[in-house]
Structure 1
Amino acid sequence: MKRQSMKACNQFVAEFEKVIKKPKRHDSKTYYTGIDLGTACVVLAVLDENYKPVAGAYRYADVVRDGMVVDYIGAVELVRELKEEVERKLETELVYAAASLPPGTDELDGGAIKNVIQSAGFELTNLLDEPTAANQLLNITDGAVVDIGGGTTGISIVENGQVVKVADEATGGTHLSLVIAGAYKFPFEAAETYKRNEKNHDELLPSLKPVIEKISSIIIQQTQGYHVEGIYLVGGTACLKNIETIIEKVTGIPTYKPSNPMFVTPLGIAVSCTNQVLT
């Protein structure tokens, strides 16, 4: 594992967490925005002209399911609200944005994601798959970036700094919440909230282990035939305490995760944003 790379990633995420609470208002010729339309959470990350974090906002929502926009109007309104919220804090207009989608879904939903971003008032400059976006921040040259989202698990295999394979399968945080809802007789929304509280993770892990093992088997299947030196976990579901321990044990591959995996992909998307509009 490239410790320097993970250290730099953690520092970047820590800086972003600070500016969510206290935005950095200063003169910048332009701002670059990354928008992560997740199944459980929508995150907006803003960088200045030097690609340093200056502001951000996020909201838990149900406008996307399994990587597909299911509430188009709701998604547009939510992104517009987050945009306006950050614009007020920075006292500026946000123009350029990049976005992402699960690997292999561009033909199915790339148009919808693009339209959401544009309808919310942004100029779209880039659209890339989620694990590849995450690697903009991780800077892994050899390994598998695994983005465990709410509905799907996306995998990007990197060899010698080049993405050689991307894949996406339908298992993620939603499946963990369904298990919790069944075990505790909770409504689904209550299970989601219970899962997000780290204080409950030790208690939940035994019940959730079968789903994590299923995610591990997806990783094994998708990385077969490739030389994978390490697995790097990102995405909101990767916030689950000790998920990396179970995945490493099942796959037999060293597994790492940043200090806050939830913000790696949106920040990677923002890093990939430019001032050249996508045609």
Structure 2
Amino acid sequence: MTMTDMNACDQLVAEFEAVIKKPKKSSTGVYYTGVDLGTACIVLAVMDENYQPAAGAYRYADVVKDGMVVDYIGAIQIVKELKAELEEKLETELLYAAAAIPPGTGDLDGGAIKNVVLGAGFELTNVLDEPTAANQVLQIQNGAVVDIGGGTTGISIVKDGEVARVVDDATGGTHLTLVTAGAYKISFQEAELYKRDQKNHQELIGVLKPVVEKIATIITTQTSGFEIDGLYLVGGTACLTGIEGIIEAKTKIKTYKPLNPMFVTPLGIALSCTDEIM
């Protein structure tokens, strides 16, 4: 992958950020939705019939823990509300949705994420793992997509455009929040809000460096034995300013980060949505 491809990814993210503010109606009324049930944030990304961003909405929530749905009713409720909000803006019903799960949680999850999407009133057309979904946007040929979420870090190793290995480790944004809470002697909720505010990132990066280095060590272990041209960071936790520098220094692998890493996976999920019901 070259930096021009990163430009294509950044362009798509920028277009998506624009339609969150001002949705674009499709002339045909056909829409494909990606539902990203994150540990810290739930995102709905809507594409038109040409798979161009049409609308989007997101909400911070704690209905998922370490990739598992812990508040089933709450999750359905939020997805329903976001769906209704987007339907009102687009003046149509959103029928089709795809979803994603952290790598390796398919059996453990027991279809909870599928059931949340169905429970919110969508027809489910696809379920894939999160880093693989992100690569629908990144389009890397040889490298590793590192999806640093709230509860877990998912790594998808891509060789010649095909996924060669997918792994998940239970280290993510939650650990950064816990360290922030401890360092500043504040509650978990306060620490989460403090960490989310970009104004605090320069000061926080020093405090959080050991946890980021732990994530880098996980990446090194999991990518060992593979030829990795680059690491591509996505997920809400990757929004931490400077995280890519620490990971690159520790792994010795060139590390790239899109403009807004939080939206890459939901856009990839939406790109994987069709009108063929599972």
Please classify the TM superposition score into its range, dividing by the shorter chain length: over 0.9
Per the alignment, residue 194 of structure 2 pairs with 194
Cα displacement (A) at 1:2: 1.4
Question: Residues of 1 paired with 2:26 and 2:209: CA distance?
Answer: 46
Task: Report the Cα distance in structure 2 between the residues aligned to 1:179 and 1:206, rounded to whole angstroms.
Answer: 11
Q: What is the aligned residue count?
A: 278
Aligned residue in 1 for 2:83: 83
CA shift digits 1:34-92 (9 cap, x unpaired): 00000000000000000000100000000000000000000000000000000000001
Distance 1:80 1:190 in 2: 27
The 1-side partners of 2:13 and 2:198 are apart by: 18
Alignment of 1:245-256 (within 5 A): 245-256=245-256
Partner letter of residue 72 of structure 2? Y
Task: Quote how far apart the aligned CAs of 1:26 are.
Answer: 3.6
Contact kept? 1:101, 1:110, Cα under 8 Å: no
Q: Which moved more, 1:123-132 or 1:108-117?
A: 108-117
The residue number in structure 2 matching 1:259 is 259
Q: Give the drift of 1:232.
A: 0.3
Q: Distance in 2 between matches of 1:276 and 1:27?
A: 21
CA distance in 1, matches of 2:265, 2:57: 14
Cα displacement (A) at 1:30: 1.3
Match of 1:147 in 2: 147
Deviation at 1:3, TM superposition (A): 1.6
1:121-166: CA deviations, max 9, x gaps? 0000000000000000000000000000000000000000010000
**Could you state the TM-score of these two structures normalised by the residue count of structure 1?**
0.99
Structure 2 counterpart SS, 1:203: helix
- Judge conservation of contact 2:100–2:133 (CA < 8 Å) in 1: yes
Distance 2:272 2:25 in 1: 22
Aligned counterpart, 2:228: 228
Q: Which runs of 5+ in 1 are unaligned?
A: none
Letter paired with 2:272: S
| 1:59 is aligned to 2:52 | no
> How has the CA–CA distance of structure 1 residues 240 and 112 changed in structure 2, closer, same or farther, with 3 Å as cutoff?
same
2:161 corresponds in structure 1 to 161
Q: What residue number does 1:2 align with?
A: 2
- What are the ranges of 5 or more consecutive residues in structure 2 without an aligned counterpart? none
Matched, 1:95 2:95: yes
Supply the distance in 2 between the matched residues of 1:96 and 1:171 (Cα, whole angstroms): 32
CA deviation string 1:237-263 (max 9, x = no partner): 000001000000000000001000000
Computed over aligned residues only, the root mean square deviation of the Cα atoms, in angstroms, reads: 0.7
Q: Contact (CA 8 Å) 2:26, 2:49: kept in 1 or not?
A: no
Q: In 1, distance between residues paired with 2:110 and 2:220? A: 27
CA displacement at 1:5 relative to structure 2:
1.2
